[in-house]
Structure 1
Amino acid sequence: MENANTPCHGGLVLLLDEDSSSSRRIAEGLRRHEYEVLVASDDEIATALAARFKPTLCVLELIPGRDNRLGLISRLRSIVPDMQIVVVTAYGSVATAVSSMKRGAKDYLVMPFKFEELLGALRSDVRACDEEVVKCTEAPLALRRAEWEYIQRVLNDCAGNISETARRLSMHRRTLQRKLNKRPVPERGYAAH
Structure 2
Amino acid sequence: MTNTSSLTSPAPDAPPERQRDGGVAVAFVVAVADNGVIGRNGGLPWRLSSDLKLFRRLTMGKPIIMGRKTWVSLPKRPLDGRDNIVVTRDLAFEAEGAHVAADTEHALRLGQALAGERGAGEVAVIGGAAIYEALIDAADRIYLTAVHGEPDGDTTFPVFDLTGWRIVSEEPIERGARDEFDATLRVMERVWPEDKAA
Report the TM range for the smaller structure's normalisation. Answer: 0.3 to 0.5
Structure with greater strand percent? 2
TM-score of the superposition, structure 1-length normalised?
A: 0.34
- TM (norm. structure 2) is 0.33
